[in-house]
Structure 1
């Protein structure tokens, strides 16, 4: 007997390779917006892995990672099933915005509702018609609002299996992060699914290094789960990540022009000068000193900031 997999009402049999179109909403003009769900199932039974990007429409670096997985044929398993969704929030992707058309953050609407807002209905359909089939999920994200994340994976500290998968994924950093209420990761965990969240890059931007880290991590996880053997494609397979137990934001004390003196991924110490904020006229400039020792996980790439804006996220080592 093989495991039953049904996606969008269609049974997926061993050996099937197909793309289904998820159509649950239309534009004002009644034009369809369809989301491709790319499904490949091997003849040999095994785990089901969902590879997902674009929950936020402006997080295009995750889309590029999943696109490369598909374009290079890495999504075709020798064992088990791989479901690829390169762009979930196609509405936001088309408009180059983070939100759904109703103004809501899709990643705060799970598991959703049949009678709720557009984003809530969409989240509900995606969980019930697609995602519930998965045993594991790789969920690709980037930093929002021009804040650049150094490539890392996030997971709940209490989940030992996810800790193992994070080690396998092999980014330089793995960060313990509590699940956000109503996020996709939180909703999947409640039904017993394992979601490893990747963060890298910034909104509306592609970065080759981040793309490579995400692609390599996905190949390592697929190999670890027995879906396929990517020994010839994987580099640096045994990299041991630095564990980030907690993180602290450094915020602007004043509004003005922001300059960073450090790079993401860099190790810093208490008292180090990290950057400065000045007025645009040359009258004043205030240096930013670190209150923590750790690693620069996130850095704001906006040149103008307001008082209280997040400038850097410092990862504190375990």
Structure 2
């Protein structure tokens, strides 16, 4: 357990029972404007675990930003026991420009564990790993689907990792996807330091999705309740667990029209949509290759051959 009488982050001391915002300086814009990383600390009066909530690691993924913002605004993050470290917006640079990565094209979530003397993405990753993670026991990293791609609310974690499984169960999302860690990601770097972090996915880039936002808030509160940080949390729900998740891709270029919706359970060979051309000559049925559940959709109507169309969670494990 990382909770101590006083948490010291970059020279800023926060005692039990206190709420404080501290700012870590990252770098300057070419205009000489400082870019800081605001971090909110909510410390209960009693000893307990330290929970990290992060959003906006990708600058255009705003649902995670809004999940944490609403929880701060509604005074939901002050625990009775333990500490919540909340970073609603990690990638300020990308957020300003409505882009996923940074001005140099780097992806922070492929730059961990980072370097103090590396690229801007590497520096931001290094700051998180060395200034924040040493204080943390558990974490939830909130993400959103990419441009024109929407995700059904889900947790991604390595299911066989007992620590990941424990907090994923407690979060109680609609769906859990057994997902291996990827080199360079925040999740893998933290896990190698002994800090389990699960990833929440939901919604579409640059658009608020109220269902996703509420699921994210409810899950965070369930986790806080499970960790005995707060007295009550939302009721748990049935959660389906899946082992794999292929994208179904376009065999032809054209105009794609959906028949399925996010969250739909689908059967093998069920029609998920149609590809047509602008001239009325092509009409191609897109079918599910196996039984599963729709967890992602490409909302762009114009598609090229090979484009990802529908994301299916397959190989159902169980419901918890």
What SS does the aligned partner of 2:245 have? strand
Corresponding residue to 1:201 among 188, 200, 203: 203
Root mean square deviation, CA, Å: 1.3
Equivalent residue for 2:132?
A: 130
Q: Residue 183 in 1 paired to residue 185 in 2? A: yes
Equivalent residue for 1:57?
A: 59
Equivalent residue for 2:232?
A: 230
State the distance in 1 between where 2:4 and 2:206 align. 41
Unaligned 5+ segments in structure 2 are none
Shift of 1:238: 2.9
Which structure shows the bigger proportion of residues in strand conformation? 2
State the distance in 2 between where 1:2 and 1:109 align. 30
Q: Residue 281 in 1 paired to residue 283 in 2? A: no
Equivalent residue for 1:139?
A: 141
Shift of 1:133: 1.0
Q: Residue 24 in 1 paired to residue 62 in 2? A: no
Count of residues in Structure 1 that have an aligned counterpart in Structure 2 = 314
Alignment of 1:265-304 (within 5 A): 265-304=263-302
What SS does the aligned partner of 1:46 have? strand
Equivalent residue for 1:243?
A: 241
Corresponding residue to 1:255 among 248, 253, 256: 253
What SS does the aligned partner of 1:5 have? strand
Unaligned 5+ segments in structure 1 are none
Question: Is the contact between residue 167 and residue 240 of structure 1 (CA under 8 Å) also seen in structure 2?
Answer: no
State the distance in 2 between where 1:189 and 1:174 align. 18
Shift of 1:271: 1.1
Shift of 1:36: 1.2
Question: Is the contact between residue 109 and residue 185 of structure 2 (CA under 8 Å) also seen in structure 1?
Answer: yes
Equivalent residue for 2:94?
A: 92
Question: Is the contact between residue 92 and residue 101 of structure 1 (CA under 8 Å) also seen in structure 2?
Answer: yes
State the distance in 2 between where 1:243 and 1:126 align. 30
Question: Is the contact between residue 53 and residue 140 of structure 1 (CA under 8 Å) also seen in structure 2?
Answer: yes
State the distance in 1 between where 2:116 and 2:205 align. 30
Corresponding residue to 2:309 among 284, 308, 311: 311
Q: Deviations over 1:19-53 (max 9, x none)?
A: 01121111101011222100111221110011110
Shift of 1:191: 0.4
Equivalent residue for 1:158?
A: 160
Question: Is the contact between residue 5 and residue 16 of structure 2 (CA under 8 Å) also seen in structure 1?
Answer: no
Corresponding residue to 2:104 among 90, 102, 105: 102
What SS does the aligned partner of 2:27 have? coil
What SS does the aligned partner of 2:141 have? strand
Alignment of 1:12-51 (within 5 A): 12-51=14-53
State the distance in 2 between where 1:305 and 1:16 align. 52
